[in-house]
Structure 1
Amino acid sequence: MPPAATTDAVWRPHVTVACVVSDGARYLMVEEDVAGRLAYNQPAGHLEDRESLVDAAVRETLEETGWTVQPTHLIGVHQWRSTEHGEGVIRFSFAARPLGHDPSRSLDTGIRRALWLSRAEIAALGERLRSPLVLQSIDAWLAGARFPLDALHWLAEPAAP
């Protein structure tokens, strides 16, 4: 069968990234409008074409919070089926340290604000969390999950001649 004919039959999960950014016992979160409801999440979003996972995590955090961060570790790779849209998601969760904040930066569409919350405050949000991966990532971080970033390999495309 020609490759074009099989393309539609291949399952393609959403590839996403998220950052657990800690400042002591507080974590950087976003408050966002999602399908008409208020939800809370880590800075997170989709991997773009021709982008490394680490670069996507830095970009999404900046776009959603105005914070520039430096990823320090991979916390884990989480696979689940979204209750929001019903499709498969592969999420790469990173630990990152905050470097600086630009309070004048416009935030992504749908993001109401960035805020810092404790783990207890995040857990108390319950059903308002965007996904179960929010607490799972924080708890993995607190349990010591830290994989080196060089465990991820990205082969950039060669420059055009």
Structure 2
Amino acid sequence: MGQRQVSGTRVIAAKPEEIFDLLTDPARHPELDGSGTVVGNRKSSHQRLELGSTFGMDMKIGASYKILNTVVEFEENRLIAWRHFHGHRWRWQLEPMEGGTKTKVTETFDWGPARWSWLFRFTPYPRVNRRNIEKTLDNLQDRFAERASSSGDEGDDGGSR
């Protein structure tokens, strides 16, 4: 990734479609969030996110606030990215593996298109976001590992930490 991006990748024991269903439902984003800042879903222009959809989130970093996001990249079951008014993006890329039974998931925080991207050089956010991405991927991995173990599947969860 470039200088203005941080990302993390994990192999998850789930089909891309299952993970994409989670990502395109903003009401479920707090379930995955590793930062602890995504509190709840405000509103969405669509029941399921698609290119151009807008969705609001209740957030909290010290103080509570609201943020409106727009889906700016979309490829069914492979890619979704959203940005808010400042311009930086959260991107999720999904690559099927092992005949589609596992998925290589890459989450990226991209502040390159942000209005004042140079400000990020003076903040801890790139380092903090990298850590939070890893926690989010942990949450995603755990969600599907729990499902596999509750269905009696004793196989490897496919992840590496």
Q: Which has the larger radius of gyration?
A: 1
The answer to which structure has the higher helix fraction is: 2
How would you bin the TM-score normalised by the shorter chain?
under 0.3
Scaled by the length of structure 1, the TM-score of the pair is: 0.24
